[in-house]
Amino acid sequence: MSLLRRIERARPGTDAPAAGSTTPVAPGVPPRSPQAPGRQLLRDIKLRLQNRVMVDLGSKLDLSNEPEIRRRIEEIFSRVIDEEGLAITRAERVRLLEQVTDELIGLGPLEPLLRDESITEIMVNGPRQIYIERSGKLERADVAFQSGEHVMRIIDRIIAPIGRRIDESSPTVDARLADGSRVNAIIPPLSLVGPVVTIRKFATNPFTVDDLIRFGTATPEMFEFLKGCVQARLNIFVSGGTGSGKTTTLNVLSSFIPDDERIITIEDAAELQLRQRHVVTLEARPPNVEGRGAISIRDLLRNSLHMRPDRIIVGECRSGEALDMLQAMNTGQDGSLSTGHANSPRDMLHRLETMVLMTGYELPLRAIREQMSAAVDLIVHTARLKDGSRKIVTISEVQGMEGDQIVVQHVFTFEHTGVRDGKIEGYLKPTGIRPQFTRKFEANSIDLPLSTFGVTAEPTTPGPEQTGQAADGPREPRGYSPAVKAGGMVYVSGMGPVDPQTGEVVGGTIQGQTRQCLQNLQARLEAEGSSLDKVVWATWALRELDDLDGFTNEWESWFADDSPARQAAMMPLPRRLAGFRISIWIIAEAK
């Protein structure tokens, strides 16, 4: 007969009531489950066995040799059960042994949750309330601690091996488990529900590109693009909200770093799982009991610059270290990676501004933005959607400054199409725009097909406009169209927002690009003896309909009173590929 059945039969007052009778219950007290007394007595027996094992082990409890200590616990456990004459089933015996072992050398009630690979997060809200996250959804776990002191013992067991402390004078701590899982704990008096522990579990084997593609986090084309960005040594920030998958994404991006480079990682609590051979892991240190000896991420970042790094990876920028990270990116440490909390790529830039200001230096806002626009090449934004799924929702290029603003251009975006059976449906798609830094791909012999950016093929018969070769003149930059005079009129076809000296697209905003187009048109007309006030007809082509207001505002500042007749057209494919947001065709009177 099993232990639970013996308990139920032997316990006074637990006989089943006669048919048709009811068990009186005090007002406001819920009826007890028939199995509740048995479960409570089973816990009592577990505690008694646990105490006996601890006494018998004594000073022999050397946790450094886990296999040996497990063997000793099993021996003592079996002897105690025989001495007390407990008749329990094999299943109950195995379960009790596992629980006792978890309490003595593991993390107690948390151990079964840590072993469950489907659980991604564990949240202890005091001793009696434990929640877990599974498949992006929260649910309550059927385990509990005995008391607040029990939770505190487990917290001490977590933080002791890494030399950290938690007490009333320092009631919060960040730590990690042996497998790299991240741990945060906060205790009274800051927490009013008792000790609170949050564990962000890491997979035993780090997620790979194939895993994230299978999960629907991103498409193969996006990862091909990101691989090219890492290998071309672009500076990348991964942004997103809490639990959106920033660290997982950063791990995958770091896997693209060549194996022959020296990588230095800097974190508050080490959790990155890099697989390259030459990796130096640095971890910040909190102050000691006297409030001294703290080593911040800023300190480690500054020191890392003297360690001959090829790449610097900062696990997360939270405050003043953002300034040091930007300076490192701007002074030769290209190819650096980091993460930050933000709701969008634009918000990530605002957060970086705020972090730089947290250093206490009185820097002009424009100077901060110039550093940011020069340092950061790409922002990869992650999000946890309402159905619990995690996705890369935008990949955005930081194109530079336009006036006092930093220009950001999306290269890939997530398009939501609906909801089916509680699951969000949609797809990740390219915007059809190649970023300006693709020349770095060419310099590093990285060849990405046009299909990566959503373009199926290049034009098969390029004309003078696409090659930049004027019909009867010298070669001009693509998009800097020639002027043709005929019949007393001057014709300019498809003027783009390019610098005629360098051939580069300038002005990331629609206003800036429109201004550049009009400056180019003005120069062309004046060279033919005409001017903008002689324009009688204009055709313009926008890449995005949302740019209409910005285009109109800039156009009207040039043609305030007597705007020429004009019409809209579709932007040609070559200009889309070149990053144009606007092209303009005009007809003007010649003098």
Of 516, 537, 526, 524, residue with least CA distance to 583: 516
Q: Per-residue pLDDT for 63 more than 80? A: no
What is the domain-level CATH number for residue 349? 3.40.50.300
Residue 100 belongs to a domain: yes
Q: How far is 97 from 78, CA to CA, in rounded Å? A: 9
Q: Specify the pLDDT at position 117.
A: 87
Tell me if 22 is assigned to some domain: no
DSSP symbol at 111: H
- Looking at 185, 204, 223, which one is the last position of a domain? 204
| Dihedral, 88, 94, 100, 101 alpha carbons, nearest 10 | 160
384 forms beta bridges with 390
Q: What is the CATH number of the domain that holds 557?
A: 3.30.1330.40
Report the greatest alpha carbon distance in the chain.
115
Residue 459 has pLDDT above 60, yes or no: no
Amino acid symbol at 18: A
Q: Tell me the residue range of the domain where 44 lies.
A: 1-7+35-105
CB-facing half-sphere around the CA of 406: CA atoms within 13 A: 27
Tell whether the model's pLDDT for residue 14 goes beyond 50: no
- Domain-located, residue 29: no
* Tokens describing residue 79: 């002897």
Range of 64-68, 76-80, 122-126, 398-402 with top mean pLDDT: 122-126
Element at 410 (helix H, strand E): strand 405-420
Contact between residue 585 and residue 493 where contact means Cβ atoms under 8 Å apart: yes
Mean pLDDT of 314-326: 91
- Split at pLDDT 50, 70, 90, the class of 577 is low
Residues 193 and 174 in one domain: yes
Q: Are 229 and 362 contained in the same domain?
A: yes
Across 195-216, average pLDDT: 88
Q: What is the mean pLDDT of residues 15-35?
A: 41
Looking at the predicted structure, is the pLDDT value of residue 392 above 90?
A: yes
Higher pLDDT among residues 464 and 207, named by residue: 207
Q: List, for residues 156-170, the tens digit of each pLDDT value.
A: 989 988 888 898 888
DSSP symbol at 63: T
Report pLDDT for 86. 67
Query: Which residue among 86, 105, 124 closes a domain?
Result: 105
What span, in angstroms and rounded, lies between the C-alpha atoms of 387 and 413?
19
Beta bridge partners of 124: 130, 197
Share of the chain above pLDDT 90, in %: 34
Cα 377 from chain centre: 16
Residue 530 has pLDDT above 50, yes or no: yes
Task: List the one residue out of 431, 386, 433 whose CA is nearest residue 413.
Answer: 431
d(Cα 513, Cα 299) in Å, to the nearest integer? 42
Residue 266 lies in a domain: yes
The predicted-structure confidence for 69-112, as pLDDT tens digits, reads as follows 777 777 777 777 777 666 666 777 777 777 777 777 788 889 88
Cα gap 443→32, rounded to integer Å: 73
% of the chain exceeding 70 in pLDDT = 82
Grouping H, G, I as helix, E, B as strand and the rest as coil, residue 399 is strand
Q: Per 3-state DSSP, what percentage of the chain is helix, strand, and coil (rounded to 5)?
A: 35, 25, 40
Q: Does 17 fall in a domain?
A: no
- Counting the structural domains of the chain, the total is 4
Surface-to-core class of residue 518, CB atoms within 10 Å of its CB (0-12 exposed, 13-18 middle, 19+ buried) = buried
Please identify which residue in the block is written with the tokens 């109109």. Answer: 552
Domain check: are 243 and 376 in the same one?
yes
d(CA 419, CA 430): 22
Q: Is the pLDDT of residue 252 over 70?
A: yes
pLDDT at 535 over 50: yes
- SS3 assignment, position 503: coil
Nearest 10 degrees: Cα torsion 150, 153, 154, 160: 170
**Whether residue 487 is found in the same domain as residue 555:** yes
Q: Are residues 423 and 529 in the same domain?
A: no
Lowest mean pLDDT among 41-55, 115-129, 235-249, 546-560: 41-55
- pLDDT of amino acid 23: 39
Mean pLDDT across the chain: 81
Model-level pTM? 0.68
To 10 degrees, what angle do helices 321-330 and 345-357 make? Answer: 110
Coil, strand, or helix at residue 402?
strand
pLDDT, residue 18, reads 41
From the list 512, 496, 480, 239, the residue with the least C-alpha distance to 401 is: 512
Mean pLDDT of 158-185: 88
Q: Where are the alpha helices (DSSP H) in 11-126?
A: 36-57, 66-84, 90-105, 110-115
**pLDDT for 473 beyond 70:** no
Residue at 89: amino acid letter:
T
The tokens describing 166, both together, are: 């938690």
SS3 call for 420: strand
* One domain, residues 166 and 244: no
Neighbouring C-beta atoms of residue 277, cutoff 10 Å: 10
- In angstroms, the Cα distances linking 296 to 288, 299, 325, 327, 569 are 13, 5, 13, 17, 56
Q: Same structural domain for residues 502 and 567?
A: yes
Which pLDDT value is given to residue 162?
A: 83
Decide if pLDDT at 442 tops 70: yes
- CATH code assigned at 190: 3.30.450.370
Backbone angles phi, psi at 154, to 5 degrees: -70, -40
Residue ending a domain, choose from 204, 238, 258:
204
Is residue 156 assigned to a domain?
yes
In a shared domain, residues 181 and 245:
no
Q: What is the pLDDT of residues 326-361, one digit of tens each?
A: 999 988 889 999 999 999 999 999 999 999 999 888
Length of the chain: 591
Among 304, 267, 266, 262, smallest CA distance to 279 is for: 262
Tell me: do 250 and 393 sit in the same domain.
Answer: yes
- Same domain assignment for residues 400 and 531: no
Question: Residue 533: is its pLDDT beyond 50?
Answer: yes
Residue 341, Cα to own-chain centre: how many angstroms?
8
In this model, does residue 12 exceed pLDDT 50?
no
Residue-level pLDDT at 15: 41
- Say if residue 518's pLDDT is above 80: yes
Residue 458 has a pLDDT of 43
What are the angstrom distances between the C-alpha of 307 and each of 80, 284, 302, 384, 564?
A: 56, 16, 10, 36, 62
Is it the case that residue 196 has pLDDT exceeding 90? yes
**Whether residue 183 is found in the same domain as residue 245:** no
Q: CA-CA distance, 208 to 224, in Å (whole number)?
A: 13
Q: What are the tokens at 476?
A: 């001009």
pLDDT digits (tens, 9 = 90+) for 284-312: 988 877 778 889 999 999 999 999 999 99
Measured distance CA(352)–CA(199) in Å, rounded: 27
Structure tokens at 300: 């480690």
What digits encode the pLDDT tens for the residues 122-140? Answer: 999 999 999 999 988 899 9
DSSP 8-state assignment for residue 383: E
pLDDT of residue 275: 86
Res. 574 pLDDT band, cuts 50 70 90: low
Give 245-281 as a 3 state SS string.
Answer: CHHHHHHHHHCCCCCCCCEEEEECCCCCCCCCCCEEE
Distance of CA 217 to the CA centre of its chain: 11
Residues 6+ apart with CB under 8 A from 129: 140, 144, 193
Q: Answer for the pair 286, 164: CB distance below 8 angstroms, yes or no.
A: yes
Does a structural domain hold residue 355?
yes
**Residue 14: inside a domain, yes or no?**
no
Same domain for 305 and 408? yes
